Amino acid sequence: MSTTSELTRLREFLNELIPSEDQLVRLYQNFCAQIRKGLGSKTNKDASTKCYLTYVQDFPTGNETGKYLALDLGGSKFRVLLIHLKGDSEAEQITKIYDLTERELHSTGVELFDYIAKCLHEFVCEQKVDNEHMPLGFTFSFPCVQTGLSRATLVRWTKGFNCSDTVGEDIGLMLKAAIARRPGLRIDMVAILNDTTGTQMSCAHRNPSCNIGLIVGTGCNACYTEKVENCERLDSKYKDKPKIIINVEWGAFGEKGGVDHLFTDYDRTVDQNSINRGAQIFEKMVSGMYMGELVRLILLRAVNENLVFAQCKLRKHITDILTKKPHCIETKVLSDIANDRGDDWPLVKDVFKQVFNLNNADPDDCMKFKFICDVVVKRSGNMIGVTLSGLVNKVGESFSVIGVDGTVYRCHPNFDGYMRETLDRFVDKDYKYDMMLSEDGSGRGAALVAAVVHRDYMERKSLNAKLRQ
Ligand code: BGC
């Protein structure tokens, strides 16, 4: 059994990863200040959270009907979907997942979009809808400046994507050009949206109180509904509708220093080892792409300081693996072991076997490993709860539903609770909130945006026809 002093030493060692109340208050204040800057036309250039205008201003009623196509690009897989909206908030969908290899992630933009168009073509032929000329919504989950619903200029790649000749280009035009290069493929791309927007829309489809969308997966980001009068950068021609969804792009929060007081050497190393140094700082502290890496770095130092595996025969071998194999601990592990209640630590032992080829690990080392993982996940959940509180308070509705998606949120049994810990502290007492798991926001959300755009278009067309009569 570990002595109490050993555990106290580990607790002290991890202390810098356990935010104090004061640190969380500062995080809240810094985040709210960045949002204000992001919304302002003069201050936007200095903001880390750019608060991009999405041009999504119409919300689903639940009565949407019709067949739509959706593309979903933004994580480790690429998906094509055929979605049949049936009214009454009902929908049926067929999804096909295509692998994205390192080749696609690091090709040129034209090659990437040719690959996407090829998959799309195969899919519509397989589903026998190649002659139907359907509206398509494209969930493209990277920071983009939008100038309309189907115009989006890529600002930067994130999450390990790095296709050349794409940053600064109009993603909508690139997709349309790739579709045009395939004879026989007729698709009407009507909207580009972020996965957070898709998530908010898919939840709003079932519950109109949903005014925030959150993703905690490979990447992390949120969007929310803002009043048009608070959007200085929005052209007045869009101000006849009362609201607009803002894509906060909070993954970039911290690039102007807002999280320095919580930034540890481990975070610094994760950033230094990444392909986008200095960028997406908040995302690197909280999202699925990086949390396993943080655990690897923390564990390595803990082993070197004799805090874990101190008596283990394979100690040297474990240190070697932790040193030489970046990403040897996947974020998935943090969720898998969270349910290990510690009778015989079967789940932690399984991880030790896979990663270090270690059999019969010492129960104390298992407990300590679980503690390290938990500290990293809790920090993430607590920090996200704080920034979410900023949005709930900004929305200022008596009741807000937060639509959520992403593997970390879905798979980690305590993540929701860790977010609520800080939400309960930072959300204004006049406001109530709840979380709602999205049903495939990236797919259904894209179809819903396509549907509301289509509805709007049809309404305007019939109005014009009446005016001409
Ligand atoms: C991207 C966001 C996206 C988030 C979640 C981030 O890396 O910048 O646009 O919403 O990941 O997928």
pLDDT tens digits, 259-276: 999 999 999 999 999 999
Ligand 1 atom at shortest distance from the alpha carbon of 156 = 8
26 is catalytic: no
- Residue written as tokens 């608060």? 51
Gap from CA of 224 to ligand 1 centroid (Å)? 14
Range with the lowest mean pLDDT among 95-104, 315-324, 372-381, 396-405? 95-104
The yes-or-no answer on residue 315 being catalytic is: no
CA of 83 to the centre of ligand 1 (A): 23
Ligand 1 centroid to Cα of residue 193, in Å, is: 11
Q: Is 74 in the pocket of ligand 1 (CB under 6 A)?
A: yes
**Which residue carries 């480790």 as its tokens?**
76
CA distances, 29 to each of 25, 41, 61, 366 (Å): 6, 20, 35, 37
pLDDT over 60 at 1, yes or no:
no
Please tell me if the CB atom of residue 441 comes closer than 6 angstroms to any atom of ligand 1: no
Q: What is the pLDDT of residues 416-446, one digit of tens each?
A: 999 999 999 999 999 999 999 998 888 889 9
Cα–ligand 1 centroid distance for 199 (angstroms):
12
Note the pTM of the prediction, 2 decimals. Answer: 0.95
Helix (H), strand (E) at residue 121: helix 109-126
- Could you tell me the pLDDT band of residue 87, with boundaries at 50, 70 and 90? confident
| Cα angle for residues 165, 173, 283 (degrees, 5° grid) | 60
Q: What is the mean pLDDT of the chain?
A: 94
Ligand 1 contact via 200 beta carbon (within 6 Å): no
Q: Supply the DSSP symbol for 164.
A: B
Is 195 designated active site?
yes
Q: What is the pLDDT of residues 112-135, one digit of tens each?
A: 999 999 999 999 999 999 988 889
pLDDT in tens, 3-32: 678 889 999 999 999 999 999 999 999 999
Give the active site residue among 195, 267, 364, 374. 195
- Please state, as a whole number, how many other Cβ atoms lie within 10 Å of the Cβ of residue 63: 13
> Six-digit token pair at 443?
């797919």
Confidence (pLDDT) at 343:
84
What is the C-alpha separation between 461 and 191, in angstroms, rounded? Answer: 18
The reply to whether ligand 1 has any atom less than 6 angstroms from the CB of 215 is: yes
Q: Does ligand 1 come within 6 angstroms of the Cβ of 72?
A: no
Q: Flag whether pLDDT at 369 surpasses 90.
A: yes
Catalytic residue among 48, 58, 72, 141: 141
- For residue 2, name the pLDDT band (cuts at 50, 70, 90): low
Picking from 214-223, 265-274, 335-344, which range would have the lowest pLDDT averaged per residue?
A: 335-344
Ligand 1 centroid from CA 97, angstroms: 19
Residue with tokens 């920071």: 143
* Residues facing 188 on adjacent strands: 135
Alpha-carbon separation of residue 462 from 87, 241, 451, 466 (angstroms): 21, 19, 16, 6
Catalytic residue of the set 48, 58, 72, 79: 79
Whether the CB-CB separation of 420 and 388 falls below 8 Å is answered with no
Q: What is the pLDDT of residue 464?
A: 81
Give the angle 218-141-190 at the CA atoms, nearest 5°: 155
In the chain, what percentage of residues exceed pLDDT 70? 99
How confident is residue 283, by pLDDT bands cut at 50, 70 and 90?
very high
- Over range 34-51, report the average pLDDT: 97
Asked if pLDDT for residue 384 goes beyond 80, the answer is yes
Q: Which residue has the tokens 């608070």?
A: 230
